[in-house]
Amino acid sequence: MKSLGAPLSAAGRRAIAPQGIPSVFCSKYGNRLSGSVHVIVRNGYRLPVEFDCSKGNLKGFLNFFKHFNLKGGEMLLFEYYGRYDLNVYIIGSHCSEIEYPHIVHHLQTCHPRIVTLGNGGWRFIWFVDPSSSLVDEIEPPTPFIERCGSTFPRWPEIALNNGKVFCGSYSRETGKISCLRSMCDVLGVADLKPFYMLLFTYNGVGLVNVSVFDENLCEVLYPGSATCTDESVDGLDRASSFQITIQPCHMLSYCYGVDISTQYKDLCNRLDRIDYINVKYGDFSWRLQVKKRSDRKRTTINGGELIALLKGEEVMHVGQTSRQRVDLPASYASDTSKFLDDTAASLDGHSKAFVDKVEGMIKEIDEQSAIWKGKVTEMKKQVWELEIGLSSVYPFELQLSVYIMEMAENGALFPRFCRIMTVTTEESNKMVLPPPFLHYFADGLPTNVKFHMTDGSDKSIIYKKQKKKLYGVRGVFGSPRFDRDVCTVFNYMGNGTFQLYVFNQKYDDGNTACMGFTSLRNGADNHSFGWKFVSCCLSAGTCDAGFVKVPPGHVIPPEVNITLPNGQRFAAAYCSRRRLIHGLRIFHIRDMLMLTYRAEGEFDGVLFDQGGGEKSYSAYAFRFGAMVGISWDQFKIEVQPFHLYQYCHGIDIPADYKCCTDRWSPSQYLTVSHEGNFWFLQLRKFGRRWKIGGGWVRFSQVLRLSVGDVLVFDMNAPPLGFSLCVYRIAERY
């Protein structure tokens, strides 16, 4: 996280804490971490902990110590990149990084990662002796030599955090590294006595990064480093530079990144597999994520910040607008600024207090956004939904909207969207409809819109097409304002009629959260059919032990069946003592289910995938998370312009359909059937992304696809047999 228009001051920040987080670190960056964060170990282990900024403590490490068999004397190296997580490296009592066990947390469903020298390097620390004179040689710990000695170069490059690079030497006979005198010369200091210790990170290809720590156990930042706030860095000699020629594809909103030419591989080799660089232009600064491809031969700049940077004047305006007032994540800076620009008349007509309130609301959402994953692709989706909530200008409310579209076999569209209220500062009597919903159904919405309530009553409100808002919603909900613990689901039935369901937050059961239920009939008791609830799919430690929590006060038989909208039917078991429906093997952890009880043990289920809730299992996942409706046996692709190029190298399958792609293996083929024709499309996997590769060009030509067409692949022969439905853009208008 960073302040717009100011030099980045959080990326790559490190601190070693034997007993707690140093106060210096907390004072500078504590307000940027939420109360709940994840610590991530190199082997894939993720642990949710509580962060107390006032005391400088991270609580909840007992299981961490047990799982890694820490006995005392070790050090934890925390690395903060300005997001919502902390990377942690374990330095053993021998002053070298430990051999990580092949484990993950019991709540995780993934497999542990193999920790290698080539993936993140290897570390050791060296303590400065203040009583001795300056020496040039240091002797790495024996475990480090055993691990890296065979590949350690005779003349390694030593890089400091400010970009300065110099040459050191390594003697295989003595096992010592010579570099300290040269480092003092580069830093402009007489000796190393002002420092407490040095951290050496060897990347496996001849480069050693050195970080200097003071007596507060915090990294010392010199002018020119990515996290330094010193403005007087223009006179520094840069270790290297690189150039990028802007191409038309770089300006597209769905651009996945910009490749750095291989002619700059010497510079790229100094970067980690996932790293961040600081870009400075005039009074403005951006942090850009740099990622190496799986083959490590190409380096790519990722993220929405780069797209905004390439748009020149818009970025300048973003910095001038937001820099002095509020800290905003860069990934939704341009959308927020666009909203402010689009509503310039309203802002001009109101006082500074109004603007401050808007920014205060954004900041509150930002503080809770630790449950969102910091991935740029997910943040873009949430930005768009945040902008929807801000469109209700004055009096205003900040809210997140979720849009879901279901397609039946006959091609009919059954829309469902969910509005999750967060914080309402003033009374509001209007609601903005999501743009995708308006895209398909705005022309068919009448002026008078009818809501079917759960108690059987009907209520009417006014829809103003020009403003794309519903007016009179206060009378529908029977309250002068929405509470922050309300989740509302809207089912559009056609002809201007909505079926409305309202869920109130009733309780939070430790690691399990359920939204409250509402009855379909007025005065229905707890044993009546038709009651609904929303719950989160969790895991008891194995991939096939998914379960959901049921609100109390209901009689349910031990064997239940769940029917999804696509007709799929699944059996599960109900434990009355723990109020759990378990055995949901098909559902991913943290999926959301809206279940409707129909008869003895029969449920109708609607599945929601929590797009940004990877880090939280609490009620906040429902109040602040962004949900995207998906089907576990279906995926959709909207045709983009570059999909139709003759030299198209592949089509990305959106990450929203991870529950479908998880069952695939690389180099397999999809069997796709459409109107009696069959195609075999090759699957390719790049990191975490799946692509449709070989066969796509011929496939798109035969089907005569156009930009904007939607391809819906329905599984008819698991796991790789799909039937295809094509929804052409020409038929939707």
pLDDT digits (tens, 9 = 90+) for 486-544: 556 667 767 778 777 666 544 333 333 333 333 333 233 333 345 666 655 443 333 33
Output 148 or 530, whichever has higher pLDDT.
Answer: 148
Name the residue with tokens 């051999």.
99
In whole angstroms, what is the distance from residue 542 CA to residue 582 CA? Answer: 12
Q: What residue spans of 343-398 are helical by DSSP H?
A: 344-348, 352-368, 376-390
Output 318 or 555, whichever has higher pLDDT.
Answer: 555
Q: Return the pLDDT at 585.
A: 52
Q: Return the pLDDT at 327.
A: 27
Most confident of 411-425, 618-632, 705-719: 705-719
Chain centre to alpha carbon of residue 369:
10
Please, which residues have CB within 8 angstroms of residue 439's CB and are 6 or more apart in sequence?
A: none
Q: Quickly state the pLDDT bin for 477 (edges 50, 70, 90).
A: low
Q: Return the pLDDT at 358.
A: 54
Q: Say which CATH superfamily domain 13-213 falls into.
A: DNA-binding pseudobarrel domain (2.40.330.10)
Whether 36 shows a pLDDT value over 90: the answer reads no
Q: Return the pLDDT at 607.
A: 64
pLDDT digits (tens, 9 = 90+) for 423-459: 333 345 677 676 656 766 777 788 888 887 766 778 8
Q: Quickly state the pLDDT bin for 200 (edges 50, 70, 90).
A: very high
Q: State what percent of residues in the chain have pLDDT above 90.
A: 4
The token pair that represents 635 in the structure block: 């995926």
pLDDT digits (tens, 9 = 90+) for 689-701: 788 877 787 788 8
pLDDT digits (tens, 9 = 90+) for 224-242: 444 444 433 333 333 457 7
The token pair that represents 267 in the structure block: 């510079």
Whether 416 shows a pLDDT value over 80: the answer reads no
Please state at what angle helix 352-368 crosses helix 376-390, rounded to 10 degrees.
140
Chain centre to alpha carbon of residue 636:
21
Whether 178 shows a pLDDT value over 70: the answer reads yes
Whether 157 shows a pLDDT value over 60: the answer reads yes
- Identify the CA nearest to 658 among candidates 611, 616, 618, 615: 611
Name the residue with tokens 């709940």.
36
Check: CB of residue 70 under 8 Å from CB of residue 48: no
DSSP 695-726: THHHHHHHHT--TT-EEEEEEEETTTEEEEEE
**What residues does each domain of the chain span?**
13-213, 240-324, 399-630, 634-731
Least confident of 40-54, 62-76, 519-533: 519-533
In whole angstroms, what is the distance from residue 659 CA to residue 655 CA? Answer: 9
CB-hemisphere CA count at 13 Å for 594?
Answer: 23
Q: Quickly state the pLDDT bin for 704 (edges 50, 70, 90).
A: confident
Domain 399-630 sits in CATH 3.30.70.920: no
Q: For residue 161, what is the DSSP state?
A: T
Q: Quickly state the pLDDT bin for 246 (edges 50, 70, 90).
A: confident
Average pLDDT over residues 152-157: 87
Architecture of domain 634-731: Beta Barrel (2.40)
Least confident of 169-173, 176-180, 553-557: 553-557
The token pair that represents 695 in the structure block: 């066969």
- pLDDT, mean over the chain: 65
- Identify the CA nearest to 549 among candidates 631, 624, 627, 617: 617
Q: Return the pLDDT at 312.
A: 45
Q: Return the pLDDT at 319.
A: 26
pLDDT digits (tens, 9 = 90+) for 328-366: 233 333 343 444 344 333 334 445 655 565 555 555 545
- Please tell me whether the peptide bond between 130 and the residue prior to it is cis, using omega within 30 degrees of 0: no
Q: Return the pLDDT at 318.
A: 27
Output 205 or 88, whichever has higher pLDDT.
Answer: 88
Q: Return the pLDDT at 354.
A: 52
Q: State what percent of residues in the chain have pLDDT above 70.
A: 55
Q: Quickly state the pLDDT bin for 282 (edges 50, 70, 90).
A: low
Q: Quickly state the pLDDT bin for 303 (edges 50, 70, 90).
A: low
The token pair that represents 57 in the structure block: 């403590």
Pairing verdict, β 569-575 and 122-127: unpaired
Q: Which residues pair with 38 in a beta bridge?
A: 48, 85
Q: How many other β-carbons are positioned within 10 Å of the β-carbon of residue 611?
A: 24
**Do the first three CATH levels of 13-213 and 399-630 match, i.e. the same topology?**
yes
Output 195 or 668, whichever has higher pLDDT.
Answer: 195
Q: What is the 3-state secondary structure (H, E, C) of 417-433?
A: EEEEEEEECCCCCEEEC
Please, which residues have CB within 8 angstroms of residue 285's CB and are 6 or more apart in sequence?
A: 2, 5, 6, 7, 8, 278, 279
Whether 702 shows a pLDDT value over 60: the answer reads yes
Q: Return the pLDDT at 309.
A: 52
Q: Return the pLDDT at 48.
A: 86
φ, ψ for residue 336, nearest 5 deg: -65, -40
Burial class (CB in 10 A: 0-12, 13-18, 19+), 176: middle
